[in-house]
């Protein structure tokens, strides 16, 4: 697990150079635009609703004593919850809509690494989009169901530190999952791909850790996160496919 996490992180070091070498930047224009637009939308929604939700929650405090303090706390918690859920939504919206653009990039990287002549499934723009939406709706549902309980656990002393780590690792896992699937969709069917990622969850977490950290960099992070993370995920996923000699 730890070894695969490290490999997932190290793969980023050669990603920028590989993109430039294969002249892939032009393929990322639309996905980068999707990423930036989605990030702006999510940020705007978080800003708009955090105060409103915090004020609404504060109405449940019926006493004047401590009312202002309770409203400040409820506004903070509401804002945090919206940002976390917004990040989850951002991730999966961007990955789903970018699938038809990322899959061909992943294919070009695979052809470069393995040489032409190996076999894999050829899928259409429509199939790639449907596959991307299906995978990300599944992951989004699971992630949201786990996110809220983990956030609530965070308010328990001591356990709160553990919940923060769990939340980060979960976010990373599903980010890496989506990045790996751009390669897996050519080799495996839906359920086989899910099984493959579960068997290589360390690789997904490692890729996703850098993905999440990139989002902390204003503007530039949102623009570059998809090209670099998909390239890094592709190189390591192909190695795993070859190493395990799984059926293509």
136 within 8 A of 95, measured Cβ to Cβ: yes
98 within 8 A of 138, measured Cβ to Cβ: no
Q: Which residue from 131, 162, 130, 132 is spatially nearest to 149, judged by alpha carbons?
A: 162
The owner of tokens 């009312």 is 67
Give the torsion sign (CA, 19, 183, 26, 132). Answer: negative
Instruction: Average the pLDDT over each of 29-33, 39-43, 244-248 and give the range with the smallest value.
Output: 244-248
Band (pLDDT 50/70/90 cuts) for residue 222 is confident
Q: In the chain, what are the domain boundaries?
A: 2-27+99-244
Reply yes or no on whether the pLDDT at 173 is more than 90: yes
Amino acid 210: pLDDT: 93
Amino acid 62: pLDDT: 60
Amino acid 207: pLDDT: 94
**% of the chain exceeding 70 in pLDDT:** 79
Tell me the average pLDDT across 21-46. Answer: 84
SS3 186: coil
Amino acid 200: pLDDT: 92
Amino acid 126: pLDDT: 78
Q: Which residue from 246, 242, 245, 244 is spatially nearest to 114, judged by alpha carbons?
A: 242
Reply yes or no on whether the pLDDT at 248 is more than 50: no
Residue range 140-151, pLDDT digits in tens: 889 888 887 887
Residue range 36-93, pLDDT digits in tens: 888 888 777 777 766 566 556 556 556 666 556 666 666 666 666 777 777 788 888 8
pLDDT, averaged across the chain: 81
Q: Residue 246 phi/psi, 5° resolution?
A: -75, 150
Amino acid 246: pLDDT: 46
d(C-alpha 214, C-alpha 44), whole Å: 19
DSSP symbol at 116? B
């Amino acid at each position: 697990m730890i070894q695969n996490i490290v490999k997932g992180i190290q793969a980023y070091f050669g990603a920028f150079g590989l993109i430039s070498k294969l002249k892939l930047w032009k393929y990322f224009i639309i996905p980068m635009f999707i990423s930036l637009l989605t990030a702006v939308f999510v940020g705007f929604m978080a800003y708009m609703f955090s105060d409103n939700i915090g004020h609404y929650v504060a109405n449940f405090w019926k006493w004047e004593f401590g009312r202002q303090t309770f409203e400040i706390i409820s506004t903070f918690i509401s804002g945090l919850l919206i940002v976390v859920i917004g990040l989850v939504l951002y991730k999966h919206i961007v990955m789903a809509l970018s699938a038809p653009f990322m899959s061909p990039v992943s294919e070009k990287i695979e052809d470069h690494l393995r040489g032409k002549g190996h076999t894999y499934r050829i899928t259409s723009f429509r199939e790639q989009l449907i596959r991307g939406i299906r995978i990300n709706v599944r992951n989004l549902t699971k992630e949201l169901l786990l996110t809220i309980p983990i956030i609530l656990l965070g308010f328990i002393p001591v356990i709160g530190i553990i919940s923060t780590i769990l939340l980060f690792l979960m976010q990373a896992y599903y980010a890496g999952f989506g990045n790996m699937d751009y390669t897996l969709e050519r080799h495996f069917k839906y359920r086989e791909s899910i099984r493959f990622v579960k068997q290589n969850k360390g690789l997904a977490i490692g890729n996703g850790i850098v993905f999440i950290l990139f989002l902390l960099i204003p503007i530039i992070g949102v623009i570059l996160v998809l090209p670099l993370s998909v390239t890094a995920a592709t190189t390591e996923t192909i190695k795993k496919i070859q190493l395990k000699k799984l059926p293509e």
